[in-house]
Structure 1
Amino acid sequence: MNTLSKAALGAACSLVCMPLAAQANETDGAAVQNPALTDLIVVTGKRPSAELADELAPPPGIAFPADTADIAARIPGGALVGNGALSGQLSYRGSTGERVLGRVNGQRFATGGPNAMDPPLHYAPSVLVESVAIARGVAPVSQGPSLAGAVNARLVQAEFAQGNSAEWQAHIAAQYRSVDNSYAAGGLLGLATADWRLGVIASREEGDDYEFPGGTAIGTSFERNLYGAHAGYRLGEGEVFAEYRRSETDPTGNPPFALDIVYFDTDFIQGGYRGDIAQDIALDLRVGHVAVRHLMDNQTTRQPAAPPMMARATFADADTTTAEAALRFGSAASHVELGADAELVEKSVTITNPANAAFFIEAQPDVQSDRYGAFVQWLGSAGDARFEIGARIDRTEQSAGTPQLGTAVPMGPRMLAGAFSASGRERGATTVDAVLRVWLPQDGFTPRLTLARKERVPSLLERFGWLPTEASFGLADGNIYVGNLDLEPETALIAETGFDLFTDRLSIRPTVYYRRVDNFIQGAPFDQTVGVVDSPVEMVAAMNGDPTPLRFDNVDAELVGADLDFVTRPLDRLEIAGTAGVVRARRRDIDDDLYRIPPANLRLSAIWSGDRLSFGADLFAAAGQGKVSLANDEQPSDGYAVVGAFARYRVLDGVALEAGVENIFHTYYQPHLSGRSRVGASDVPVGERLPGQGRGGWVRLTAQF
């Protein structure tokens, strides 16, 4: 393992590349195999190979956040979209939402909440996450369509043993944080031989409203349970595998949204085969299903609760069925891969008033999206240069049913429902992706280049959201949005270049990139007469408090940026690591900036690693963001810097005690991408960005056997 890899674990989870990415690929199906193409954050420190355990000893240096998106946001070019304790999204190089492919254990799925209260990493409790892998820059075509990068959270699993006798495996983590009086506990218990493996996982997390300089952010408490089982059996040179998980999110506050989580009850199941079926021929088969059942309201957690006339309880379901097949001809280092996949999504959203059974509206009536795709990908070399080139084609068919409304629903929504029912509620699109990634490994120096064309089909919400609501897939800006049946797919042309430099004392990986996006989907004024209520959509929106609704529309955009990560070792036991990033995102159709783009940021950490005791400090700083969208009435933000400290003591082999202090100087700050509070009883004024957490201590015990 190189110096950079070892330092990453202790550098406040600063993300760096690791050669273990290929090992993770064997279990979770991630297609990126070369460390030049993959970023990997190791969370638990558990690895398949015992020989590597000592090298992974330095402490992570942070309290495990309940939201794994907060961990993923530590990559170069990453930022957190803060929408609540369990609803954060990853912003990657200025792209967020469904533009960033999210998976858990290699399984892709549709979220249940229309406002993305359950983005993919919602289902990956950090106490159970072994690693978070992100495809650098763009995702390979073998991972499916995605406009920007791809993130995959791998949960702890039992691994095959070395011998024929059965061996027990265990991984346990327990943590307490004072800033929100939260606890988290979880772990793995496994039994395995060289031929089979069985494992069960479970976690429990609960926290109160968090403290910040100036008071308490009311409505930020959370509660979540997860449990599951998995198994694998050696079959020839491959493995037959299966896994099941149940995630139960109980009442959890979401201050930036009009409603809070009452529950997410979600079942994951997947299985298949992966491995060689003949010499230099490998097969990867995977089928899966995810069922999300969701309720959100403004009564259970919201303070104060809405009065009966304004009481709302929204039920949302989402079912995703996936099937994937890929054949690889050649070795792991040089091969051609052919594959096909399908993703079938069914969703429904019904808004009700718990105080009036005659009030209900099907805001998303039986909406469906069926995607079928195929790809070819070639990993090879030309002289000293290595390359990965691939192309894929996808056909997506989308449709919506006829909305049903209760007798207590007023005339405005009825008119809109009638117009939507009379419209053509079926759309189809064919998209084509192509990716070329080239790198030239040399003695400690690897230049690299990526060229890509990526497309994204509009989401079901963006296309079929006929009712003006605040559902915006997590923008949480208080605006009312409405869908657009005539949206075109987003098309991005991407170029990026950089290099990886590794020496005995310094490792650094800078990248510069350019993304030109045609038909970028963003909220735009509903019509040309902004503020003049002269349409049924504006009338309904005005009834809900916003006479200037936005419609999802196609615009043209460009994003230019640079980011890097580095590790330096001035002394044998001292390592200093960091990440930095900046992105400039503008519209090309008008003179304006894109909406909700993170400011320039810097993350630094220093760690002194002893034989048993290690300690250090970390700094995160963000500049003010003044390049904001005028068309969307976005407000600028101020810069800030936050400092933390941490220590780790190895009690026994495999047992460690960690502790730290977050935000030592009790700094008040408001991250630019944080949502705005809607909670009237909070110390955060209504309409203000949610502040970051104040000073707090944390302690964690981890053990693995």
Structure 2
Amino acid sequence: MSLNTICRAGLLASCTLFAVPLAAQESDSSDAVLTDRIVVTSARADAPAKDTLEPPEQIALPADAAAIAARTPGGALVGNGALSGQLSYRGLAGQRVLGRVNGQRFATGGPNAMDPPLHYAPSILVEAIEVARGVAPVSQGPSLAGAVNAQLVQAHFADGPDVTPQVRLASQYRSVDDSYAIGGLAALANETWRLGVIASREEGEVYEFPGGTAVGTSFERNLYGVHAGLRLGEGEVFAEYRRNETDPTGNPPFAMDIVYFDTDFVQGGYRGELAEDVHLDLRLGHVAVRHLMDNQTLRQPPAPRARATFADADTTTAQAALRFGTATSHVELGGDMELVDKFVRITDPTNAAFFIDAQPNLQADRFGGYVQWRGALGAVQAEVGARLDHTLQEAGVPELGTAVPMGPRNLANAFIAADRSYSETMVDGVLRAWLSTDAITPRLTLARKERVPSLLERFGWLPTEASFGLADGNIYVGNLGLDPETAWIAELGIDFDGDMASFRPTLFYRRVDDFIQGVPFDDTVGVVDSPVEMVAAMNGDSTPLQFANVDAELWGVDMDFTLRPVESLELSGTASFVRGERRDIADNLYRVSPANLRLAAVWQGVRVSLGAELLAAAVQEEVSATNDEQASDGYAVVGLFGRVDLTPAIALEAGVENLFDTFYQPHLAGRSRVGASDVPLGDRLPGYGRHGWVRLLAQF
């Protein structure tokens, strides 16, 4: 990234005026201490008044909601296709970051995480994304590196007895991939009951970048659902159902593309006051994922060996929490369970005798309980919690077709003969304390967090490219001898909120014992002298990696900030830096995002807003030699946007992104596996070229 580019982009971003606060403050300042909240859609007309105005969004809504979550301080996007991105938070990604939609946690269906949690949150329907700052409280369940929750638009109770309609619609077009998205809410409600339906449709073609077209990046997704609530005294009984249908969608970093994800979500429960200062939260839920991926439907050219993989995942959850006291001073007791069943079968669509159960009836049953206290110790506010989780994991017996060669058969027999049942007990503890004043809030977080090895990391007996979305072209194999990860976490920060400026820097350190990552299968790298290496070599990689325990540490600093020099002008942004290193050997951790900066500016008039945003990332040379990770170049891109409120209920937004048509390749972008693309095989997927977008919003 040249100095000229940075200066030109920075000058334009700082002079074009006013930006959206990326982590909007909630009306309860104590909650804002604990949570980053990214507002995606416009505020409801009946929403309670807030201390500061929330300006409109200044970007085209990406189909992938993970790209919005990545705008949080410390966040970065792991780009694996239009609908398969993951949030990297302070250097950690994948199953270390708890992902939920409408507060519901669930297991992904794709063996390579083609459907990470935010896959099921179309941006056009997302109202807000909440990210637990640094460390998730124990009440949200086990999580090693924070938690993110995408809240979809929903009907809200009205103020009186009359039935009131609620309508919210949004539509968007983007030129770079000729994509469109349309979605919304239609609801009826009064002060006692609410009933709403939501729906969205998205479709896009291959996208353009400076120098060509990224073939195999088209996407298609539908979502529809219904939800309802009934007030009973001081509480509410609620229920919701959603259906997600992802149709053929390209995933260039993977060996296969999505043919379909057909996924059903259902949950319901009760939340509210049982008596004065006694609050109950009950929730039951189930998620059923049915998935097919192959290397023929969209892949150009089709792979010479046809493969189609079928995958199922079912998650049943239940949780109960009883709180004694007020929202800011209480003791909470809770328990939860999560029952997961997964199955993956690889087939050859041209040969019915070829099939392999790569994940044979895997099960993970977790039962947990916690106690959490929140209150004041003099002038210091604190939240202290501890939780205990017991997890049982087991794998079934894989079946193989008669056309499967002897190599995989030998591995399957060894896996069948091994102990395939494991039991782990995890202990988490979190202390979050802050001292609130009128303008300055010092913060301290201390935590101990644990993570059980995933079903893939432990039971992946067949060497494949399944890696929960690393998408690096390596072949991985599981490890029955894995120990749980244990993280020791310390964070120190300060929040300043003044009339003309606010900023929230945080220093953090994570020491992770038994960190799980891929390492060379044995000491004789490149020498095929084991059954695993023989099968891997048959699949094109004679140097497979095995999930193993290593020791790691991550440290860094991130912040968000806002400047308000005059009433109609606002400058805002985020800055993030994280460093990840191995402690057992002299090496860096794998796939850690480079230092990055977002700087935005907006001028807001009575009915018109104009603005710009700069996104810049530094070079990343601190890469993993163990995993043969390649360095990446820095870059800076700029976008412009504007908004016109046509009426109090209708707004038109438009903009240009990557104004200077800069070629760039984000460090965490997946590597292309599509042979017919203008992106060379093995290269990181480039960012979008210069393009325009337009969005229409309406709410009645």
**Could you give the per-residue CA deviations for residues 91-148 of structure 1, whole angstroms, max 9, x where no partner exists?**
0000100000000000000000010000000000001000000000000000000001
**Could you give the per-residue CA deviations for residues 511-556 of structure 1, whole angstroms, max 9, x where no partner exists?**
0000000000000111111111110000000011110100000000
- Alignment of 1:401 with 2:396, yes or no, is yes
What letter is aligned with 2:333? L
Q: Match of 1:35?
A: 32
1:522 pairs with 517, 526, 532, which one?
A: 517
**Could you give the per-residue CA deviations for residues 26-62 of structure 1, whole angstroms, max 9, x where no partner exists?**
xxxxxxx711010000001234744538964622100
Q: Match of 1:470?
A: 465
Q: Match of 1:331?
A: 326
Q: Match of 1:452?
A: 447
What letter is aligned with 2:243? R
Q: Match of 1:28?
A: none
1:350 pairs with 337, 345, 364, which one?
A: 345
Q: CA–CA distance in 2 between the matches of 1:54 and 1:203? A: 32
Q: CA–CA distance in 1 between the matches of 2:48 and 2:399? A: 61
Deviation (angstroms), 1:17: 4.5
Q: Match of 2:693?
A: 698
Q: Match of 1:15?
A: 22
Q: Match of 1:185?
A: 182
Q: Match of 1:367?
A: 362
The answer to whether the 8 A contact 2:26-2:37 is kept is no
Q: Secondary structure at the match of 2:31?
A: coil
What letter is aligned with 1:599? P
Q: CA–CA distance in 1 between the matches of 2:27 and 2:291? A: 37
What letter is aligned with 2:25? M
Q: Match of 2:123?
A: 126
**Aligned residue runs from structure 1 range 255-274, under 5 A:** 255-274=252-271
1:200 pairs with 197, 202, 222, which one?
A: 197
Deviation (angstroms), 1:367: 0.2
Q: Match of 2:610?
A: 615
Q: CA–CA distance in 2 between the matches of 1:483 and 1:11? A: 49
What letter is aligned with 1:417? A
Q: Match of 1:583?
A: 578
Q: CA–CA distance in 2 between the matches of 1:54 and 1:520? A: 43
The answer to whether the 8 A contact 1:338-1:375 is kept is yes
The size of the alignment, in residue pairs, is 684
Q: Match of 2:3?
A: none
The answer to whether the 8 A contact 1:45-1:56 is kept is no
Deviation (angstroms), 1:618: 0.3
Deviation (angstroms), 1:199: 0.2
What letter is aligned with 1:601? N
Q: CA–CA distance in 2 between the matches of 1:563 and 1:96? A: 17
Q: Match of 2:276?
A: 279
Deviation (angstroms), 1:291: 0.1
Q: Which runs of 5+ in 2 are unaligned?
A: 1-16
The answer to whether the 8 A contact 1:14-1:74 is kept is no
The answer to whether the 8 A contact 1:228-1:246 is kept is yes
Q: CA–CA distance in 2 between the matches of 1:13 and 1:372? A: 41
Q: Secondary structure at the match of 2:32?
A: coil
The answer to whether the 8 A contact 2:91-2:593 is kept is yes
Q: CA–CA distance in 2 between the matches of 1:286 and 1:393? A: 19
Q: Match of 1:211?
A: 208
**Could you give the per-residue CA deviations for residues 440-495 of structure 1, whole angstroms, max 9, x where no partner exists?**
00111100000000000000000000000000000000000000011010000000
What letter is aligned with 1:150? A
1:566 pairs with 556, 561, 576, which one?
A: 561
1:251 pairs with 248, 253, 257, which one?
A: 248
1:637 pairs with 622, 627, 632, which one?
A: 632
Q: Secondary structure at the match of 2:424?
A: strand
The answer to whether the 8 A contact 1:12-1:62 is kept is no
Report percent identity of matched pairs.
Answer: 72
Deviation (angstroms), 1:189: 0.3
1:98 pairs with 95, 100, 105, which one?
A: 95
What letter is aligned with 1:19? E
What letter is aligned with 2:180? Y
Q: CA–CA distance in 2 between the matches of 1:665 and 1:432? A: 51
Q: CA–CA distance in 2 between the matches of 1:255 and 1:245? A: 28
Deviation (angstroms), 1:21: 7.0
Q: Match of 2:662?
A: 667
Q: CA–CA distance in 2 between the matches of 1:391 and 1:59? A: 39
Q: Match of 1:416?
A: 411
Q: Match of 2:12?
A: none
- Alignment of 1:548 with 2:555, yes or no, is no
What letter is aligned with 1:501? F
What letter is aligned with 2:78? V
The answer to whether the 8 A contact 1:670-1:689 is kept is yes
Structure 1 residues 272 and 21, CA gap change in structure 2 (3 angstroms): farther
- TM-score, length-normalised on structure 1? 0.96
- TM-score, length-normalised on structure 2? 0.97
Q: Match of 1:108?
A: 105
- Alignment of 1:595 with 2:602, yes or no, is no
Deviation (angstroms), 1:16: 2.0
Q: Which runs of 5+ in 1 are unaligned?
A: 1-9, 23-32
1:52 pairs with 49, 52, 64, which one?
A: 49
The answer to whether the 8 A contact 2:356-2:401 is kept is yes
Q: Match of 1:61?
A: 58
User: Relative contact order, CA 8 A, sep 6+: which one is greater?
Assistant: 2
Q: CA–CA distance in 1 between the matches of 2:18 and 2:107? A: 33
Q: Secondary structure at the match of 1:583?
A: strand
**Could you give the per-residue CA deviations for residues 159-207 of structure 1, whole angstroms, max 9, x where no partner exists?**
0000001000011000000000000000000100000000000000000
Q: Secondary structure at the match of 2:59?
A: coil
What letter is aligned with 2:62? P
Q: CA–CA distance in 1 between the matches of 2:681 and 2:109? A: 27
The answer to whether the 8 A contact 1:351-1:360 is kept is yes
Q: CA–CA distance in 2 between the matches of 1:483 and 1:109? A: 22
- Alignment of 1:391 with 2:386, yes or no, is yes
The answer to whether the 8 A contact 1:17-1:38 is kept is no
Structure 1 residues 217 and 259, CA gap change in structure 2 (3 angstroms): same
